[in-house]
Amino acid sequence: MKTKLSLIVVTVLAGAVAIGIMNSRIVHSDETKTSTSKTVQGMTPAVSPSAKQPTQQNKPPRTELRALTFHRLSPSEQKITASMDAETLAEFVDTPLSDVTTFLSELHDIPIILDEFSLQEQGISTDAPVSMSFASSLKNVLANLLEPLKLDYIVANDVLKIVPRKVADERLEVRVYETRHLEDVKSEELAEVVQETVAVGTWAQSGGKAAVKSLNGCLVVSQSQRGHRAVTDLLEQLARHTQIGD
């Protein structure tokens, strides 16, 4: 009888141990799964180099449309030149020329003066009445304002000075223009184009005093400021045409 009871106890104990071992394995297995799951969720998936999105390379800036020139300007003269593209809105009725120039000077915060001495020599009064409306750039406003009065403007000595056209045309300046960015145009041919299309009648070949010479991919130009503005406009148009072609 005792032997049977001992066998039963041993059997029960063995079963309990087996159940405990199984439960331990199950718990350990669940913990392993949970731990693995947390690890996977917390990982950052690796990306192969071939799967990365290609970055767009920065393209070189396009050539400026402004004509490249080695003519140096003071900071004040640079500000005046930059103001030429500024929008100007105004209307004048029988307003003295001196008042108009004062208005433009204050509007754009640049020094504009009338050369009274040279104006008097040409019989032009600073009180000449002006009747017109403006809605354009300062450059165009000055052209429309001064043309009927046979006046022009020059930028020198840190001011914009209004003078008679004759005085402005006689004041020649030498400037060097970089033209190597105009790949499809030879500098020799460009010199001919300039003389045939810009400031016609002012060049030496037609009896004037202005001159242009091609030299090592540059144009050396002796012209009035009015003539230089025309040369600059032409070179800008050619540069724009070259970019469109590209």
pLDDT at position 50 is 31
More confident of the two residues 7 and 163? 163
Q: For 188, phi and psi rounded to 5 degrees?
A: -65, -45
pLDDT, tens only, 54-93: 333 343 333 444 445 667 889 999 999 999 999 999 899 9
Q: What's the sign of the alpha-carbon dihedral 123, 129, 133, 139?
A: positive
104 pLDDT above the threshold of 90: yes
What is the number of other CB atoms lying within 10 angstroms of the CB of residue 10? 10
pLDDT number for residue 150: 95
Q: Is the pLDDT of residue 178 over 60?
A: yes
CATH value at residue 204: 3.30.1370
Q: What residue numbers bound the domain in which 164 lies? A: 68-169
pLDDT over 50 at 103, yes or no: yes
Rounded mean pLDDT, 149-165:
97
Give the total number of structural domains in the chain. 2
Residue 80: name the closest of 157, 136, 144, 148 by CA. Answer: 157
> Same domain, yes or no, for 111 and 133?
yes
Residue 49 domain flag: no
Round the average pLDDT of the chain to a whole number and report it.
77
Residue ending a domain, among 169, 194, 214, is 169
- 3 belongs to a structural domain: no
Token pair belonging to 224: 């009035």
Structure tokens that stand for 174 in this block? 């030498």
CA-to-CA distance for 124 and 167, rounded, in angstroms? 13
Predicted TM-score (pTM) of this structure = 0.69
